[in-house]
């Protein structure tokens, strides 16, 4: 009896192994003519997924659908080969390995988390495959002179710098100070690469403006109790809290902050969970997120369509593309106001394929990792000519940013904007060129965190 069962189970095992071998064997299918395979690597499962990775993936997929519906680029259809990174670098690497060696893709696009982007970038460099980083923002990704890594997305330093710049140039006035150096700032961040790279530049800029840094602490985004952090914040009594977190940790923070009576005058988030105030509001109540600032590339629904031009490749107004994208997103996923990560997924994929791929085909006649790379190096799109609003030009080899760090492959023309969630609407408050309204400082009295 027992033995019977065992034989039964063993049979299963054997089948499994055989099928496994079979799949590996049959996986490299011959690609038909005029097709470009594109690897889409995104954490569709695991903790990163809800924090924006899934939204990014959806944006990417819609971009490719819209392209193919318009006949693709230069007659080539785009075949997305999606792989789930499962929020784990280890898995991401195995999937990358598979995309490159089995599917033979010339380019891998995607990646939400910097912890995944860095090893993947390194892997692609080794294997001479283009890596187009869509959302991950850690400076490290483009700080290594990699020839095959490109990123339209701004870098984490732009986040960390941007918010403080906003305070130092504009915000301090609203706080009733005559000079930035009077502002008392607290920096808190999750201890992952994302939080670290953002908060580094927070620190740098805070020093630049001579503000008073009253607290600076990291926490694990998996933490189940951060009340101690909040108590420290209360003791430090800052005017401004600069917070970089994923999602559950932000909810936990806001809930405990409210309950432990934390008071502050300005609360500024740096992307991820903060980019989705509706979801936060569901968890902690609308009044808590009301008046919250966040920095991110503007979700396309916020962009002033009048300022956007015609799409360089298809010649249709970018405004229309955005509407179509939002419409498809709503039809497919039932969300009228998708988080900014969706925009990034859509806009960056769209731009990269229409601009770089088309040039590669026209100029070099074929799509390989190297033609893509060369084409990308020549990219030069002015402000307002992409669905993300900003222009695109990748930093050449050897170029250094203002901190003297290399940033080869980094888009030099992209920037995040500071916007405030006020009375259920987003208002862009920084930089002035993009501003759609005045910031509300300090926090509205209805907000329990308000002083």
Partner 1 sequence: MIIEAFINGLLFGGVCALVALGLNLLFGVVRIVNLAHGEIIMLGMYGVFWIYSWSKNMFLAGLVTVSSLIPFMVLIQKAVFNKLLKAPGINQLIATGGMILALSYGAEIVWGVDYRSIPLTFPIAQIHGVFISISRLIAFAIAMSCALLLYLFLYKTYPGMAIRAMVQDSEEAELLGIKPEKMYVLAVGITGLLAGIAAICLTLIYSIHPHVGGEFTLFAFLIVVLGGLGSLSGSVVGAFIISEVFTISSILVGLEWAYVITLIFFILILILKPYGLMGRGE
Partner 2 sequence: MAVNLFKKIKWNIIIAIIIMFLILPILPWRYLIHVLTLIFIFASASTYWSFMGRFGLVSLGHGAFFGLGAYTSSLLFNIYGLSPWIGMFIGGVFATSIAVIVGYPCFRYGVRGAYFSLVTLALSAAMMYTFSAMRGITGGLLGLTIRYEPGLLQFQFPEKYYYCYIAISFWLLSIYIWRRIEGGTFIYALKAMSDDEIFAEHSGIDLCKVKLQITMLSSFFTAICGTIYAQAISYINPEIAGITWSLEIAFIAILGGLYSMVGPLIGSAVYISFSEFVRVLLGSTLVGISHLMLGLLLIVFTIFLPGGIWGSIRTILFRRM
Contact residues for partner 1 (CB under 8 A)? 45-47, 49-50, 54, 191, 217-220, 222-229, 231-232, 234-235, 247-248, 251-252, 255-256, 258-261, 279, 281-285, 448
Determine the interface stretch with partner 2 among 8-16, 153-161, 282-290, 383-391 (rule: CB under 8 A).
Answer: 8-16
- Secondary-structure breakdown of the chain: helix, strand, coil percentages, each rounded to the nearest 5: 45, 20, 35
Which partner from the list partner 1, partner 2, none does 118 bind, CB cut-off 5 to 8 Å by kind?
A: partner 2
101: contact with partner 2 by CB under 8 A: yes
What is d(CA 101, CA 97) in angstroms, rounded to the nearest whole number?
6
Strands of the 130-133 sheet, one edge to the other: 77-84, 35-42, 107-110, 130-133, 149-151
Helix pair angle (277-284, 248-259), 10° resolution: 40
Q: How far is the CB of 192 from partner 2 (least distance, A)?
A: 4
Alpha-carbon gap, residue 447 to 451, rounded angstroms: 9
20 belongs to the binding site for partner 2 (CB under 8 A) = yes
The least distance separating partner 1 from the CB of residue 219, rounded to whole angstroms, comes to 4
The CA-based dihedral angle spanning residues 428, 431, 436, 441, taken in that order and rounded to the nearest 10 degrees: 60
- Please report, for residues 154, 189, 293, the alpha-carbon distance to residue 136 in angstroms, rounded to integers and kept in the order given: 9, 16, 20
CB closer to partner 1 out of 54 and 63: 54
Is 192 one of the binding residues for partner 2 (CB under 8 A)?
Answer: yes
Cα 174 from chain centroid? 30
Would you call the peptide bond into 442 cis, given omega within 30 degrees of 0 as the criterion?
A: yes
Neighbours of 69 (CB within 10 A): 10
Query: Shortest gap between Cβ of 334 and partner 1 (angstroms)?
Result: 12
Which of the residues 26 through 85 are near partner 2 (CB under 8 A)?
Answer: 27-28, 44-45, 49, 82-84
Handedness of CA 295, 298, 302, 303 (dihedral sign): positive
Dist CA 33 CA 30 (whole Å): 10
* 298, interface contact from partner 1, partner 2, none, CB < 5-8 Å by kind: none
In angstroms, what is the minimal distance from the CB of 362 to partner 2? 32
Residue 212 touches which of partner 1, partner 2, none (Cβ within 5-8 Å per kind)? none
Cβ proximity to partner 2, 46 vs 384, nearer residue:
46
Q: Does 228 bind partner 2 (CB under 8 A)?
A: no
Region binding partner 2 by CB under 8 A among candidate stretches 114-122, 180-188, 335-343, 416-424? 114-122
- Using CB under 8 A, which of 106, 108, 114, 257 touches partner 2? 114
Pick from 38, 36, 62, 43: which is nearest to 135 by CA? 43
| Count of residues that bind partner 2 according to CB under 8 A | 50
Q: 325: alpha, beta or left, given left = phi > 0 and alpha = psi -120 to 50?
A: alpha
Q: Which is nearest to 278 in space by CA: 418, 427, 421?
A: 421
224 binds, among partner 1, partner 2, none (CB under 5 to 8 A by kind): partner 1
Binding span for partner 2 by CB under 8 A among 4-12, 229-237, 390-398, 411-419? 4-12
418 sits near partner 2 (criterion: CB under 8 A): no
CA dist 255 and 169 (Å) reads: 31
Shortest Å, Cβ 126 to partner 2? 6
Q: How, if at all, do strands 417-422 and 149-151 pair? A: unpaired
Q: Which stretch binds partner 2 (CB under 8 A): 188-196, 207-215, 256-264, 324-332?
A: 188-196
Minimum gap (Å) between residue 57 Cβ and partner 1 = 12
Nearest residue (CB) to partner 1, 86 versus 360: 86
CA distance 59 to 405: 31
- 16-27 residues labelled b (16+ CB within 10 A) or e (exposed): eeeeeeeeeeee
Report the alpha-carbon distance of residue 179 to residue 169 in Å, rounded. 9
Number of residues that make up the chain = 451
In the bound state with partner 2, the residue whose beta carbon lies nearer, of 196 and 242, is: 196
Report in angstroms how near the CB of residue 144 gets to partner 2 at its nearest: 9
CB contact at 8 A, 396 and 380: no
The binder of 98, among partner 1, partner 2, none, by C-beta within 5 to 8 A per type, is partner 2
List of residues contacting partner 2 (CB under 8 A)? 3, 5-7, 9-10, 13, 16-17, 19-21, 23-24, 27-28, 44-45, 49, 82-84, 86, 88-91, 93-95, 97-98, 101-102, 114-115, 118-119, 122-123, 125-126, 138, 140, 191-193, 196, 218, 220
């Amino acid at each position: 009896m027992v033995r019977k069962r065992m034989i039964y189970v063993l049979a299963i095992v054997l089948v499994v192994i055989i099928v496994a071998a079979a799949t590996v064997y049959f996986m490299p299918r011959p690609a038909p003519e005029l097709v470009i395979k594109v690897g889409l690597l995104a954490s569709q499962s695991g903790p990163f997924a809800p924090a924006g990775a899934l939204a990014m993936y959806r944006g990417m997929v819609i971009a490719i659908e819209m392209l193919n519906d318009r006949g693709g680029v230069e007659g080539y259809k785009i075949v997305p080969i999606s792989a789930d990174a499962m929020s784990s670098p280890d898995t991401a690497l195995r999937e990358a390995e598979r995309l490159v060696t089995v599917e033979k893709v010339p380019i891998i696009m995607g990646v939400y988390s910097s912890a995944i982007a860095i090893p993947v970038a390194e892997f692609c460099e080794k294997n001479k495959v283009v890596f187009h980083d869509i959302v991950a923002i850690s400076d490290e990704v483009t700080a290594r002179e990699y020839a095959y890594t490109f990123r339209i997305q701004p870098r984490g330093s732009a986040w960390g710098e941007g918010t403080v710049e906003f305070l130092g140039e504009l915000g301090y006035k609203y706080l009733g100070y005559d000079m930035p150096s009077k502002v008392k700032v607290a920096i808190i961040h999750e201890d992952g690469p994302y939080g670290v790279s953002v908060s580094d530049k927070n620190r740098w800029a805070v020093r630049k403006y001579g503000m008073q840094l009253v607290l600076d602490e990291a926490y694990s985004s998996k933490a189940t109790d951060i009340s101690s952090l909040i108590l420290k914040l209360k003791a430090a009594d800052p005017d401004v809290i600069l917070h970089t977190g994923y999602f559950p940790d932000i909810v936990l923070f806001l809930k405990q902050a409210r309950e432990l009576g934390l008071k502050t005058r300005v609360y500024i988030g740096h992307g991820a969970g903060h980019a989705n105030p509706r979801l936060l509001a569901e968890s902690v109540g609308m009044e808590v997120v009301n008046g919250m600032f966040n920095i991110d590339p503007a979700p396309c629904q916020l962009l002033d369509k009048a300022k956007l031009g015609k799409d360089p490749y298809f010649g249709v107004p970018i405004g229309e593309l955005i509407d179509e994208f939002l419409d498809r997103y709503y039809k497919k996923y039932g969300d009228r106001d998708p988080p900014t990560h969706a925009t990034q997924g859509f806009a960056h994929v769209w731009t990269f394929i229409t601009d770089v791929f088309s040039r590669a085909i026209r100029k070099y006649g074929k799509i390989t990792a190297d033609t893509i790379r060369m084409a990308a190096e020549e990219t030069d799109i002015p402000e307002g000519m992409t669905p993300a609003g900003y222009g695109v030009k990748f930093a050449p080899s050897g170029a250094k940013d203002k901190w003297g760090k290399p940033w080869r492959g980094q888009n030099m023309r992209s920037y995040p904007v500071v916007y405030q969630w006020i009375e259920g609407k987003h208002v862009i408050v920084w930089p002035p060129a993009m501003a759609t309204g005045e910031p509300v400082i300090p926090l509205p009295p209805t907000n329990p965190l308000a002083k």
